[in-house]
Amino acid sequence: MTRKVISTKLAPAAIGPYSQAIATDNLLFISGQLPIDPTSGKMFDGNIGARTQQILKNASAIATEAGTDLNRVIKTTIFLTDLADFQEVNTAYGAFFPEAPPARSTVQVAALPLGSNIEIEFILMAS
């Protein structure tokens, strides 16, 4: 089985000792994405729905760099600091995956890096 590090400047750089994504022969694992604007490197300022959209854009850029796309997502995990945001996240997320959405878990956590209120990680089928 091969293992390849995936990195693109079109998504935020890792903020620690991890890769944006790792591709194997069959799968792409995208590390948890925060709502960071890759151009400025700053946390995206907006409501939780807009932040969800920014994360999906970041993940899409990483998937594209790996030669695949988010239509091939099989599982996501959403981390929220407040489950009261669940419905607004669902609305933004659902607009991105309107048909046959991937399997998903959503959990509330005490805190996330850089004070974010949302983080999403992705597992995709590789191209």
In sign, the C-alpha dihedral spanning 35, 44, 57, 105 is positive
Q: How far apart are CA 16 and CA 44, in angstroms?
A: 19
> How many C-beta neighbours within 10 Å does residue 7 have?
13
Half-sphere CA count of 77, side-chain side, radius 13 A: 10
Instruction: Return per-residue pLDDT of the chain as tens, 127 residues.
Output: 899 999 999 999 998 999 999 999 999 999 999 999 999 999 998 999 999 999 999 999 999 999 999 999 999 999 999 999 999 999 999 999 999 999 999 999 999 999 999 999 999 998 7
Superfamily of domain 3-125: RutC-like (3.30.1330.40)
pTM more than 0.75: yes
- Domain parsing of the chain, residue ranges: 3-125
